[in-house]
Amino acid sequence: MTIKEVQDEILRLKKEKDICVLAHSYQAREILEVADYTGDSYALSKMAAAAPNKTMLMCGVRFMAETVKILSPEKTVILSSPAAGCPMAEQFDKETILQLKKQYPGYTVVAYINTTAALKTVCDVCVTSASAVKIVSQLPGENILFIPDCNLGSYVAEQLPGKHIQLMQGGCPVHAAVTAAHVDEARRRHPDAELLVHPECIPAVAQKADYVGSTSGIMNYAIQSDKKEFIIGTENSIVEHLQYTCPDKRFYALSKSLLCEDMKATTLMDVLLCCQGKGGEIIELDADTIREARRCIDAMIALGG
């Protein structure tokens, strides 16, 4: 089958079976083209909560599919590729957080949405890269325990000097591998370009950027900017998507290593197999996990707006 034939069949099956396809912006172009909603993790979780369809197919990673299930337990939620995890989401377990809560009594536990559903059950509020500063700024207490990403946590702490943010040693192995030397080299090669980076990058990289923001934030900034050249410090699919969206501008990867194998685990054929009922993984969560994890996600949506 050609890409076009596969896409047409997906579009037909989606309609026939009332399937809503959600695709994170790190997915391949041919997948984004058949999705009902695309965007960053915050946008996808809000869209998932509002979508009327009976079946939700998440083309992204496991914690994103779990978030959809938590928000819509009555729906069938499918993760497009069972292999698509997020290493950061599994860096801490529930027991560790319960111990940390004893060590830091009275702290508000803020969980990056890149965490398992089980972990969210023992946290107070979730944040995404797009909503973290806004949400943490509204929390009543000064003391915050921020898990698991110390780089996003550092970025939030820099924006909110009035808060005391206790960081943990976790983070995204893909973004955290980018160094200040990559920035210096990219700036040398492209002296007129603006540097746009994701807050999962280390502080030494984020501090050199012209803009720090979520996947959608980076895309919107580049689309709206009058500038013509951009160095992109997030997963390299965004370089490609932006080049299609803005053919008159130029986009460069901050590092060749900015590739997330988990986000790339899903292929267009996986999407077809899921729509045919022959692929993917149906997400199952028990009622207690859904109820407890939902507190965290509802708090995020209430404070994030």
Q: Which residues form the interface with ligand 13P (CB under 6 A)?
A: 40-42, 114, 128-130, 172, 200, 214-215
Half-sphere exposure in the Cβ direction for 174 (13 Å, CA): 22
Which range in 70-78, 86-94, 162-170, 284-292 contacts ligand SF4 by CB under 6 A?
86-94
Q: Does 254 contact ligand SF4 by CB under 6 A?
A: no
Q: Are strands 76-79 and 281-282 parallel, antiparallel or unpaired?
A: antiparallel
Q: Residue 215's binding partner, choosing from ligand SF4, ligand 13P, none, with beta-carbon cut-off 5 to 8 A by kind?
A: ligand 13P
Q: 108-127 burial, b if ≥16 CB within 10 A, otherwise e? A: bbbbbbbbbbbbbbbbbbbb
- If the CB atoms of residues 130 and 186 are measured against ligand 13P, the closer one turns out to be 130
Q: Residue 242's binding partner, choosing from ligand 13P, ligand SF4, none, with beta-carbon cut-off 5 to 8 A by kind?
A: none
Query: Going edge to edge, which strands form the sheet with 125-127?
Result: 125-127, 108-112, 143-147, 164-167
* Distance in Å, CB of 112 to ligand SF4, minimum: 9
3-class SS string, 95-113: HHHHHHHHHCCCCEEEEEC
The correct pick among 114, 116, 151, 266 for binding ligand SF4 (CB under 6 A) is: 114
State the Cα–Cα distance between residues 267 and 285, nearest whole angstrom: 25
The correct pick among 213, 235, 253, 299 for binding ligand SF4 (CB under 6 A) is: 235
Query: Interface residues for ligand SF4 in 156-175 (CB under 6 A)?
Result: 172, 174-175
- If the CB atoms of residues 178 and 272 are measured against ligand 13P, the closer one turns out to be 178
Cβ(59)–Cβ(258) below 8 Å: no
Name residue, tokens 């050609």.
2
Which range in 84-92, 130-138, 203-211, 276-284 contacts ligand SF4 by CB under 6 A?
84-92
**φ and ψ at 124, to 5 degrees?**
-95, -40
Residues that bind ligand SF4 (CB under 6 A): 61, 86-88, 114, 172, 174-175, 200, 235, 260, 262-263
